[in-house]
Structure formats: structure tokens, C-alpha cells
Amino acid sequence: MWFEQQPWSTIIKISVIIVISLFLIMLFRKIFDRSVARHIERGNSRLCTLAALLRSTVGYVIGFIAIMMVLQAAGVNVAPILASAGIIGLAVGFGAQSLIKDIISGFFILFENVYSVGDYIQVGSLSGFCEELGLRTTRLRDWGGELHVIPNGQIAQLTNLSRGNLNTYIEIPVPYNEDLPFLLGLIERASAKLRGKTDKLISGPTILGVDKLEETRVIIKMVFTSALADRSSLGRKLRQACKEEFDAAEVEMPVFLSLVSGEKGKA
């Protein structure tokens, strides 16, 4: 047998290499498992993914080095093996450039914490909540419930709408035939009522002034600051409050006219 033909020093050396490599793999796995357990308790999915990736990578690296050392200790020339591995790796790299690009991009997205699961992001013409963030792909769920799978390597420009508070701009149409300061006072009263009914507003609503002069109406622009999850509901409540103030003051809303025929058209 092969072991019977080898001196005891070679057998001992190979055994020591195997034992040390197995010990190192187990040690790193325990370290990463403890790290993952702590971050799972804190809800940090980004670091959990990175820890799992590093655990696998370290295991493969230690295993490969250990195999090369065992072969060298047994008298095998490892130089041709390393050269062949390099050529094979180069060929695989050329054949899987898009896959490697996706994985590298995914790693840096996780490492730099560009976005996380649950964030509302916009990638090109697609937008939605990040449902899953992996090394190769990102999965977005839009407001309509559709799931979009985007390769990470194709993400050239991204907007994260969940980091910090957002400004929301609202347009309120008012008629030409009413006194403008009077209308602004009604809108300010509606804003004050909304501020008193909710604690979701960070700031505002603030009247910015006349934004447009259209054919049959004047557009008043307003702005408020809130979290992403509250912007839609606050916008609806603000419009409703303005409508209630206009109705109480018997202000007729502007009529939408057709520019072609001059007849009443649809809003």
C-alpha cells in the first residue's frame, strides 16, 4: 500500500496538515455561526448573508491549500496542477463573465449596505420593495404585486427611497374668480387641521405659492415631509381637508374645459 511505502515522517506530516486544516475549518465555522446568530437576533440580514459567504469561501480556500500541501508532502509536483487550475479558472471566467459580474456586484451591494430587504428602491424604470437580496439577483415587489428579478450586474443606477424622510409635493387647483389670499387662507386652515390630527408629519404642509396658470384654474403647490410609508395617505388626507374647507366656504372648484370644442370635458 501507499502508506507502507512512505517514511513515517511523511505520514506524520500529512496527518498534521489534515488535522490542522480540519481544525481551522471548524474554528472559522464556529466563529461565523456565532456571528450569524447574533445578527439574526438583531435582524441584520445583510451581515448574515456576508457571514455565510465568507464562511464558504474560507472553507474552500483552506481545503484547497491543505490538498496542495498534502500532495507536495507526498512527493507530487503540484506546479502542473496549479497551472492547469489557473487555465481552467480562466476559461470558466471568460464563459461566465455575466455570472461573475452579478456576484461581485451583489457582494459590494451587501458590503456597502446600498439597500436592504424591505427598502423601497428604484432601478431604472422598475420600482418596488426589495423582497430578497442575494449575491446574484435582487427581487423587487412593486405596488401591483408583480415580482421583478434583476441581476445585480445590471444595476447601473439605483435610488433608495427608504433612507431618511421624503418631501412630497401636492398640487391644489383653485378657480380664477375667487380672491387668491382668501383661498390661501383656506388651504392654510386645512393644513393646520391635518397637523392637529396626525403625528406622521415631519414638517409642513407648507404652501409654496402659485405654481401654474392653466386655462381654467390656478395651481397652488404645497410640500410636506414624511416617511415613505405615510406619504400617500397624508397626501389624500391633505386634499380631502382642502376640499372640505372649500365646500364650507362655498368655493366652486374650477371646471375642466376642452381646449378644442370649448365644452365641458372630463377631469
Distance of CA 143 to the CA centre of its chain: 15
Query: Which of 43-47, 60-64, 152-156, 245-249 is the least confident region?
Result: 43-47
pLDDT band at 259 (very low <50, low <70, confident <90, very high): very low
Distance CA 135, CA 141 (A): 18
Which is nearest to 172 in space by CA: 115, 240, 125? 240
What angle, rounded to 10 degrees, do the helices at 79-95 and 45-73 form? 150
Query: pLDDT tens across 129-188, in order?
Result: 888 777 788 888 888 888 999 888 888 888 888 777 888 898 888 888 888 899 999 989
| β-pair type (126-133, 120-123) | antiparallel
* pLDDT, mean of residues 198-219: 86
Q: Tell me phi and psi for residue 225, to 5 degrees.
A: -115, 130
Which is nearest to 53 in space by CA: 132, 129, 108? 108
The residue whose grid cell reads 392637529 is 196
The sign of the dihedral angle between the CA atoms of 192, 238, 240, 220 is: positive
**Strands, E, within 71-146: which ranges?**
120-123, 126-133, 137-141
Query: pLDDT tens across 99-121, in order?
Result: 778 878 888 887 777 888 778 88
Top-confidence range, 9-18, 79-88, 115-124:
115-124
CB 69 within 8 Å of CB 17: yes
Domains of the chain as residue ranges with CATH: 3-95 (1.10.287), 112-160 (2.30.30.60), 166-248 (3.30.70.100)
Distance CA 115, CA 231 (A): 20
In the chain, the N- to C-terminal Cα span, in Å, equals 91
Per-residue pLDDT at 221: 92
Query: Which of 97-106, 121-130, 244-253 is the least confident region?
Result: 97-106
Per-residue pLDDT at 267: 35
Mean pLDDT of the chain: 77
Q: Tell me phi and psi for residue 91, to 5 degrees.
A: -65, -45
Torsion of CA 196, 199, 202, 204, to 10 degrees: -20
Q: Which residue has the higher pLDDT, 27 or 5?
A: 27
Per-residue pLDDT at 88: 63
The grid coordinates listed for 187 are 388651504
